[in-house]
Structures are given as structure tokens and as C-alpha cells.
Structure 1
Amino acid sequence: MSESEDAQGSEFIPSPEFLARQKRVMDAIQLKQPDRIPLILGMGYKLAEMGGITKQALYDNPDQAQELLEQAAALYQPDMIFGAWHTPEPSKALGDRMTKWPGYGLDANGSFQFNEQEFMKADDYDDFLEDPSDWAVRVYLPRAFRELEGLAMLPPFGMSLFGYYNVVQNYATLTLPPVVSALQAMSQAAQAQAEWLGQIIASNQRMAELGFPPMPFLAVFIEAPFDFMSDTLRGMRGIFLDMMRQPDKLLAAQEKVLRIQLKFAIAATRAIGSPYVFIPLHRGSDGFMSLKQFEKFYWPQLKEMMLQLIEAGITPWAYYEGVWDQRLPYLAELPPGKTMGSFQDSDIFKVKEIVGDTMCIMGGMPIPLLVGGTPEQVREHTQKVCQVVGKDGGFIMTSSVLELEGCNPELIKVWVEATQEYGGY
């Protein structure tokens, strides 16, 4: 949503509070020094705790979820705020085997889980490399989604997509009941996704009216090529075996995935008008592979992805999960002021020292401190982060994980107030 137009096309006049918060965040992203350190709250399932409802109810009742989000915004007065991630409805429609949600694979109070499996077998590389789209539709989707198993009955794409006779003759397969069922499931999932997007647009509009800019960074989602191959296709065990047994095919597949994701991300950002791409990084941290392996299988592909996005006018926002202390010098190779980085468990002061002139740093507040710390500890840590990491700008205060489930609400309040007190420039 632009500043001048809301979801219905009527005029939106941003309040002074909206403009101040928006400028504060944008200045930090550009490595400028704002009036004070901006604060972004990812409330997540904390909203359910605040409302005394189950996590499933948070998804099932978007109106109540919106009310709770507004209450949190009014209570904490952050610069930006968002609630629980996505919706389980498309997963339900597709019979998703990759994820588990409250009320779908979990009890009503379970927390979202990614159920990693080996949907791509070790001997699938040749077919994947020859035609990723054909392999994905006829092999991957039936394995990963229960309701899409009928797609395995489709003929190889190849020439079935070219020429009058080939196209017409192969249309007959679309009438097979399992194929029809799969197509219907895809339609239901698409409708569920469209409904959720409508809810997000309405929520963003409402929050903007209240003076809180929407989070523009979460609209387009891609993965580092290694993570894509690992998370989505081979699984952790499979990918590490591939590094030893068939490294050339793994590298070739990563190159293929890199181009596919870049094409998608560039088209998607242009379509929605938001020049940001979110890249959660799962397997590149210090504990997963050696620096030698990182230099061969992870960093070159990730760096190329970021550089290509930057060249296209897009700002990558990477979430460096786990500890990246040994990898920080590599991140300093990125062009200054062109990326954003959220850091989970890295030494945030070391992050500032090594990449403080390279990227906008996000993070600073460890979740364990908000769960079991004392007000004095939270306040002292916040003051140090503001003074050291926030020095000269280019820093956005967030929790180490953008999910406040289980955190003490009083400690959240102490953290927010300390950030506002010590974060001024």
C-alpha cells in the first residue's frame, strides 16, 4: 500500500507518527542515523497468549487476531509490528507433508513446525537438472502434498506442450479423477491464499491508519541455493551425503535453483511494488559445515544471489539463523548499504564491529533474556546494545527471533521503554 492510496483506492493521508516511524526505519536500512533507534516487534504467538486463546484460534479468527495486534501496538508503541506468520489453510487444502500447524498436525496450542523430509532422492538429480519444472510437477509435488498425488499420472511435459496434436491429445489426462482432484486442491489452496492476502492488506491498512507502517520486508521469500536444496528437497542427511558423494551435481543443481529463484524474486517484487526479498538462512551457520565447505557450497551461491538482487534494485534481508561469528568477514564483502541482516545468536557486538559499515543490522535482544531475565538485566543489556551496536545508525532493534511466544510481557515493556530511552541520537 502506498502512502497516498489504501486497499480500496481511497486517499490515505499518513499521520505524523506514521511518517516518523517509517523514516526512522528507512534511515536505518540506508545506514543513516535516524532520530532514534527504530524498534520492530514480531509478536507471533504472543498475541494468542495476550488474548488467552489457542494458537489455532489466532489463525481461525483473523478479526480477533487483528484486535490483539492493535492492542499490542497500543501497549508497546513500536515503529513496526506484525503478528503470527502466514496461514495453515493452503497447507490443509494441499495435504502438505512439509509443515505442521496448530490444529493441523499439531494440537491447538502447538507451534508451527517444518517437517523436513527427503522429497528428492539421490538418483533424482539427472531428471531435476534436465527439466526442473517437469520433475517438480510430476515427482516432487505428488511426494510433498497428499492431495497432489494425482499429478504423477501426467505425461512427461516435453513435447506434450508443443504442437497442436501433442497438446490436444495429452489434454485427455486432465480428465482422470486423480488429476482432477489434484487440480481442485490447487484451486482451493489458491483461494485460501488469496483470502489471506486480502486479510493482510486490510490489516496493513488498519495499522497504517493507527500510525504504524506495515512491514514491507516479508512479501517475497526465497532461500539460499544450498538451503533450498536441503530444506525443500534433499533434507539435511541427504544434502550432506551429496556434498561427499556427488558434489558436482549438487553444485549444478544449486546453479539451476539460483536462476529460478532470482527470476521469481525479481518478477514478484516488481509485481507488488516492494523492493525487498526475505532470505532466511538455515544451514550456513558456524555449526553446520566447515569454512572450506562454506566457501564451496554456500557462500558463492548466496553472494551471487544477493548481488544479482541488488543489481535489480532489490534489497535482500537475510536472517542469519544460529551463530555466524566465523562467517562475518565474508558478509563484509557485500556492497555497503545494500542489504539488511537479522542475527539470531551471533555476538551482536562482533557483528557491529565487522559488518556495521556494510549492512543494516537487526537484532540485539536475546529471547532467553525476555523469558527468564530480570528487569535490571534487560535494561542494562538494552542500554549497551543501543550505545554500541546503535552507534552512528544503521541498526534496528528487534528480538533475536522475530517471535515473542513465551516472553514475559513486563520484560518486553522494559525492553521497549529502555530502547526508546537509550536509543536517541
Structure 2
Amino acid sequence: MKPTAEQRVEMLKKAIMCEQPERVPVVSKAEPSYAIQYAGYDLKEAQWDPALILKATDKMYEDIYCDAGGNMPRFPLVYKTNGSKAFVPRESDDFVQHPEVTGLLAEEYDEYIADPFKCIVETVMPRLYPKLSTKDTEGGLNLLRAMIADNQSKSQYLGGLAELGKKHGIINIRRGAIEAPFDFVADLLRGFTGISMDIRRDQGRLKAAVEATLPLMVRLGKIVNPTPGTIPSLFIPLHMPSYIRTKDFENLYWPTFKKMVDTFISDGYTLQIFFEKNWERYYDFLQELPKGVIAYFEEDDMGVVKEKIGKNVCIMGNYPITMLRLNTKQQCIDKAKEIIDKAAPGGGYLFCMDKSILTIDDAKPENLIAVSEFVHEYGVYK
């Protein structure tokens, strides 16, 4: 029998605060793009139609068990309206991708450090969103068009998603997303190539730029998620740590990231932090994380994670979606049991995949259905 929405909220809150709930909550990482294809709609057509995405999500929630979800599609209309170079709809199906971009040149670091917001508006935005900076009134009109498109698409989708949550009793545990200050500089300002050179050649100005970014990320987080609380959480994906040396992580990445985490937690937020790739060499740092963090892991062994940091933070992730695509139903179930047996004892654990399920090619529906139902039935605390 499916839990009620109230029971699910209680389970989720207990797990997030490192307590033992009645059962292991199942968190869906199936994105709207997966729901669209699962429901049999055309991906390119549906991404322009929030109502169609909602119909697809309704079917997915009806067929595939989960206790919690939370996502926001990237609507191609918005990015085509503003001429985005940072987030680009793919020509074949309008699925939005994030190519490497350089929004800030190395010689512009001082300009950014002096006034990051002004620099973003006057230098970075025109470079990454050129239609917003065209001459005369066209740039202003394009900005207005982009804002209207963004507001209409998101308002319709979020309103419909809330209704679906009520209909199916599924809890949205995620609202809004920001980046760690270092990742913002890497992703949207300097690019992977530029930031890699800066780490070797210009650590002083890079560190100053990262520090200047911290207040912007705190402000942005409170805009996109204006209501502190245990649910829904603010999402923070971490991109660069797996690609830099430990000493550079300690000097350039960790200080501002830790300050940001502490600020949000002290203000009453829950943070869902995605630790991409493998974080084994950083476990000593993660032991400093406060309660109120949902630590979402991709590649790390959940038994080791549970031992190292499971006393202070809620953990989730690690189930490989590649198995859902390639393996038999029983093999997929066996893997779910293995992870639950490692990570669930004592509570403080949410079951979910190692990464988002983007398309129907990422996961056979029959395997995803089987695993989700198994976890619901097996993950009962006795």
C-alpha cells in the first residue's frame, strides 16, 4: 500500500535529519525528458509545451513508484529567445545542453573582482546571451521576451506539478539550484580550459574572484528558494573537485563552499548537494558538513560513505543507471538490495540513482519499475 503524502513527508524529514523513518524513501531521478519519452510523446514537440510535459509526468508517477521527486525542465523557448551560448537546444530534438563557454576573459578578472554583479550584467551576459545586447531597443525587447517566456513556462509547469504532487501524494524535495562559488567561475565565466590554466598561473586573482562570487550565490539561493525549511531542499551540483588537486581544493574550493553551506544551514535551509564523480579523497572535509545536508553521491561506495559521514548528513545516490539500461531485472533488484543493506541501517538514507535519468535509452522502464517497487517493499525498518 502506498503511503499518504503526510506519511511521506514524515519519512523524508526523519531521514534528512539522520533519523530512522518507517521505511527507506524512494527519490525519483527521472527527468521530464524521460517522462516525455516514456509516455510516448515526441521529445522536441513536448519540450515546447508545459501541459504535455505534465501529462507525461502524470503517467510516469502513475506507473513508476516513488515517494519524492522534484525537477525543472530547461525550456528551449527561453534559450532560443535570448540567443544563449551557455545553454543550447540541440538541433535534433531541442534537448538543452551546456557546452564549454568563456564569459570572462583572463584580463577581465579585476573588473569582476571589483564589482561582480556589474561585470556579469555588462560583460558576461552580452557574451553568453548575445540577443540581449543587440543595439537600439532590440536587446531590451529580447530581454522582455525571454522573461515573459521564462515566467509563462515555469509558472504553468510548477503549478501543474504541484497538482500532480497532490494527486499522487509525491513530495517535491527540491526547489531551485545554485552552484558552489568556484564552480560558477568555472562553468559560466572561465570554462574548464580557462579555469585549469588559472589554477596553475593565477591563483591569487582566481581565489579573489571565487570569494567575490560567494555573496551572489547566497543571494541567488534565497531568490530561487525563498522559504527555508527541511523540504524542499536547495540543489547544489559540484563539478570541479574531481578534476583538481587536493591542495587546490583545500585552498581554492572548500573555504567559500563551506561558508556558503554554513550560511544556508544556519538560515534554516536544507541543501541537496550532488558530489559528482568520486569523493573518497575529500571525506575528511565532508565530515565538517552540518546536519541539514542531503549528500548525493555518484560513484562512491555507500557503505564507506555511511561509515565516514553518515552520522552528520543524510546520504543518497550511487545506484548505477547503466544497470537499468543493460542488465536483467533480477540483477537490477540485487544491486538495489546490496546498496540498501550498506546504506540504510540506522536511517539517514534516501534511495535514488547515481545520476539523473534523461532519456528512455538511459533506463528500461521495466527495470526502473521493478527496482522502485522492490525498494518500497524491502526497505522497511524493523
Q: Say yes or no: TM over 0.5.
A: yes
C-alpha distance in 2, partners of 1:283/1:418? 34
Unaligned runs of 5+ in 1: 1-14, 151-177
Higher RCO, Cα 8 Å, sep 6+: 2
1:40 is aligned, of 15, 24, 27, to 27
* Residues 52, 275 of structure 1: alpha-carbon distance in 2 compared, 3 angstrom cutoff: closer
Q: Where does 1:129-278 land on structure 2 (aligned, <5 Å)?
A: 129-150=113-134, 178-217=135-174, 219-270=175-226, 276-278=233-235
Q: How far is the alpha carbon of 1:347 from its aligned partner?
A: 2.0
Match of 1:306 among 261, 269, 280: 261
2:320·2:354 contact (CA, 8 Å) conserved in 1?
yes
Match of 1:116 in 2: 100
Alignment partners' CA distance in 2, 1:358 and 1:402: 25
Q: How far 1:275 sits from its partner (Å)?
A: 6.3
Give the match for residue 41 of structure 2.
53
Measured in 2, the distance between the counterparts of 1:389 and 1:149 equals 50
Could you tell me which runs of 5 or more consecutive residues in structure 2 were left unpaired when the two chains were aligned: none
CA offsets per residue over residues 68-99 of structure 1, 9 Å max, x none?
Answer: 21111111221123566232222111100111
Q: Secondary structure at the match of 1:119?
A: coil
State whether residues 324 and 364 of structure 2, in contact with CA within 8 Å, keep that contact through their aligned partners in structure 1.
yes
| Residue matched to 1:334 | 289
Instruction: Report the CA distance shift for 1:231/1:83 in structure 2 as closer, same or farther (over 3 A).
Output: closer
Give 1:77's match in structure 2, choosing from 44, 65, 73.
Answer: 65
2:181 and 2:257 in contact (8 A); partners too: yes
2:317 alignment partner, SS class: strand
Match of 1:410 among 356, 360, 366: 366
Percent sequence identity over aligned pairs = 26
User: Distance in 2 between the 1:270 and 1:72 partners?
Assistant: 29
Distance in 1 (CA, whole Å) between partners of 2:235 and 2:48 is 26
Tell me the residue number matched to 1:22: 9
After superposition, the C-alpha distances for 1:40-88 in whole angstroms (9 at most, x for unaligned) are 1122222232123332222123222212211111112211235662322
Counterpart of 2:74 in structure 1 is 86
Question: How has the CA–CA distance of structure 1 residues 263 and 61 changed in structure 2, closer, same or farther, with 3 Å as cutoff?
Answer: closer
Q: Distance in 1 between matches of 2:47 and 2:198?
A: 38
CA offset at residue 409 of structure 1?
0.9
CA 1:367–1:320 in 2, change beyond 3 Å: closer, same or farther?
A: same
Contact kept? 1:363, 1:400, Cα under 8 Å: yes
Q: 2:249 matched to 1:294?
A: yes
Which SS does the other structure have where 2:196 is aligned? helix
Secondary structure of the 2:137 match is helix
Q: Distance in 2 between matches of 1:24 and 1:364?
A: 20
Equivalence for 1:11:
none
Amino acid at match of 2:25: P
* Alignment RMSD (CA, Å): 2.0
Contact in 2 for aligned 1:266/1:312 (Cα 8 Å): no
Aligned partner letter, 1:341: A
- Is contact 1:36-1:424 (8 Å) kept? yes
The answer (yes or no) to whether the contact 1:29–1:394 under 8 Å persists in 2 is yes
Residues 188 and 33 from structure 1, CA distance in 2 versus in 1: closer, same or farther, beyond 3 angstroms?
Answer: same
- Cα shift at 1:404: 4.9
Q: Secondary structure at the match of 1:341?
A: strand
8 Å Cα contact 1:275/1:313 also seen in 2: no
| Contact map agreement 1:221 1:278 (CA 8 A) in 2 | yes
1:321–1:345 CA contact under 8 A, matched in 2: yes
Q: Which residue of 2 aligns with 1:315?
A: 270
1:355 to 306, 309, 314: 309
Give the conservation status (yes or no) of the 8 Å contact 2:302–2:342.
Answer: no
1:318–1:340 Cα contact (<8 Å) kept: yes
* AA in 2 matched with 1:280: P
User: Which whole-Å CA distance do the structure 2 matches of 1:111 and 1:365 have between them?
Assistant: 24
| Equivalent pair of 1:230/1:239 in contact (CA under 8 Å) | yes
On the 8 A contact 2:76/2:96 being kept in 1, the answer is no
Normalised by the size of structure 2, how large is the TM-score?
0.93
Deviation of the 1:272 alpha carbon: 8.4
Question: Are the structure 2 counterparts of residues 317 and 209 from structure 1 closer, same or farther at C-alpha, using a change threshold of 3 Å?
Answer: closer
Deviations 1:322-350 (A, max 9, x none): 11121122111112x22111111222222
Q: Would the aligned equivalents of 2:301 and 2:318 in 1 still touch at CA under 8 Å?
A: no
Residue 47 of structure 1 contacts residue 83 of structure 1 at CA under 8 Å; is this kept in 2? no
Q: Distance in 1 between matches of 2:225 and 2:166?
A: 24
Match for residue 354 of structure 2?
400
Match of 1:148, as an amino acid?
L
